[in-house]
């Protein structure tokens, strides 16, 4: 492998000749051979850093006399290529590095500087003095984290959630008038319409959407301008406001500076709150997916009240078997998100003095959750809920066989007599009408007048 010699404050080191990163990136690459190739810093973080570095150059051009138009232009052009994904192979660092994310900040600084110099056709940019001007890893990493989190939720998770909500709304509308047996404690309960059951799924997701969106404004509060410990040392006055204004224009999201940079560098309560809303979504998705696979169980020896799309063979040994694989995928994603929530909570609690040093794992887990939820909901809607078909015959049979329909006549014959009716019907495998009339509680005509399951919903 051909190399070139790069240097930093610790001396020189050999770097692959065809890569844009520099000495500090190479040191981190060699010092942290953990999760290599599997758990690299999320691309969302790298792109957020590129937005940030471009905005910082523009802000410095306005506020810091050391920044020149030529340098700002070169930085912006290099950052644009990063945002477009053209330099993805220039970011090799793993999540399991320094807890402040310093090496990733420097990885971006070095790539922007080297690519910017290539664009300028001369040695124009220094990674620290120019690309990192008025910044510190301690304020840029949490800023990039917040940018990436907001973008992931608003550009991916929420659109996929809307797709699934729309799918359930269509199912709800098309199922009007279908009455079925309700279930509580996995046992027969009073009737419910299938559209009512689906409406519960749909409304749960709408509530989750509201909770997620309520968390976004706090996520859009940025640490930038705090530099090393929150005091703003070496950053010009108004730098934070200027950057947030530029970022808002560049991304279409509304970013504002954190009112207290000492908080912003060491606390991640905003991300804990936002991920808690993602966890709430995961909880409801798990419930819905489980309901769907229970209702589709069978096809002959289960509930069989709905059919779901047959997407692939379900067994390597049992011919013709089809499994609720989309439901299983959703439930596994939900479990992963719940695990990520625990990790994020623990990591966010580890702020010591003026800095939290568990930030890369927060970034990795948060963005994984947002990504998995987005992809799984889109797939679940397309390959499962869009194709759900209610089995009206099975639902009607189960409804008429339910002993809990006795609740309809309980106000007439009393709770204890209604219980006796249900118990006798179960014991002798007879209908509720037969049990009620044989016990002398109602005549057949009185029973028919009072017994209307369709009115119980």
Catalytic residues: 185, 315
- C-alpha distances in angstroms, 123 versus 67, 86, 109, 116, 126? 15, 21, 14, 9, 8
Nearest 5°: phi and psi at 358? -125, 25
Closest listed residue to residue 282, CA positions, set 334, 321, 229: 334
Residue 399 · residue 191 · CB < 8 Å: yes
The backbone region for 101, taken as left when phi is positive above 0, alpha when psi lies in -120 to 50, beta otherwise, is: left
Place of tokens 């078909």: 389
Helix (H, G, I), strand (E, B) or coil at 245: helix
The backbone region for 2, taken as left when phi is positive above 0, alpha when psi lies in -120 to 50, beta otherwise, is: beta
Q: Cis peptide leading into 440, omega within 30 of 0?
A: no
Residue 82 · residue 46 · CB < 8 Å: yes
Residue 41 · residue 94 · CB < 8 Å: yes
* Residues 206, 209, 211, 217, CA torsion sign: negative
With a CB cutoff of 8 Å and minimum separation 6, the contacts of 243 are 52, 55, 56, 59, 222, 224, 225, 257
Residue 53 · residue 64 · CB < 8 Å: no
Six-digit token string for 244: 């947030």
DSSP letters of 163-199?
Answer: HHHHHHHHHHHHTTT-EEEEEETTEEEEEEEHHHHHH
């Amino acid at each position: 492998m051909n190399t070139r010699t790069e240097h930093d404050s610790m001396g020189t080191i050999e770097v692959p000749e065809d890569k844009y990163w520099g000495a500090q990136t190479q040191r981190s690459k060699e010092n942290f051979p953990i999760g290599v190739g599997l758990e690299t810093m999320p691309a969302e973080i790298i792109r957020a850093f590129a937005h940030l570095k471009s905005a910082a150059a523009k802000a410095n051009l306005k506020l810091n006399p050391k920044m020149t138009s030529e340098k700002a232009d070169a930085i912006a052009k290099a950052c644009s290529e990063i945002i477009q994904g053209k330099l993805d192979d220039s970011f090799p660092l793993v999540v399991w590095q320094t807890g402040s994310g310093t090496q990733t900040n420097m990885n971006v600084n070095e790539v922007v500087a080297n690519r910017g110099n290539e664009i300028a056709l001369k040695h124009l940019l220094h990674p620290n003095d120019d690309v990192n001007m008025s910044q510190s890893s301690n304020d840029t990493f949490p800023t990039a984290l917040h940018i990436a989190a907001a973008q992931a939720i608003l550009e991916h998770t929420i659109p996929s959630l809307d797709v699934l909500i729309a799918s359930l709304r269509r199912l709800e509308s098309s199922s009007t008038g279908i009455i079925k047996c309700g279930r509580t404690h996995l046992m027969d309960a009073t009737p419910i319409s299938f559209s009512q059951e689906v409406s519960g799924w749909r409304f749960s997701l709408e509530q989750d959407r509201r909770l997620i969106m309520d968390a976004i404004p706090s996520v859009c509060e940025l640490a930038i301008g705090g530099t090393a410990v929150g005091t703003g040392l070496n950053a010009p006055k108004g730098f934070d406001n200027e950057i947030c204004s530029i970022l808002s224009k560049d991304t279409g999201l509304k970013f504002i500076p954190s009112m207290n940079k000492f908080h912003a560098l060491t606390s991640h309560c905003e991300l804990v709150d936002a991920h808690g809303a993602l966890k709430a979504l995961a909880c409801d998705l798990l419930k819905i997916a489980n309901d769907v696979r229970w209702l589709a169980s069978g096809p002959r020896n289960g509930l069989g009240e709905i059919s779901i799309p047959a997407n692939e063979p379900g067994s390597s040994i049992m011919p013709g078997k089809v499994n609720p694989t989309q439901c299983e995928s959703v439930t596994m994603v939900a479990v992963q998100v719940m695990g990520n929530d625990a990790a994020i909570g623990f990591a966010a609690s580890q702020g010591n003095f003026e800095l939290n040093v568990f930030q890369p794992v927060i970034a990795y887990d948060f963005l994984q959750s947002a990504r998995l939820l987005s992809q799984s909901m889109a797939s679940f809607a397309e390959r499962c809920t869009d194709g759900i078909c209610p089995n009206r015959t099975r639902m009607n049979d189960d409804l008429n066989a339910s002993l809990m329909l006795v609740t309809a006549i309980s106000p007439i014959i009393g709770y204890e007599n209604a219980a006796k009716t249900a118990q006798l019907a179960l014991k002798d495998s007879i209908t509720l009408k037969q049990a009620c009339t044989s016990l002398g509680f109602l005549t057949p005509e009185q029973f028919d007048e009072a017994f209307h399951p369709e009115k119980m919903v």
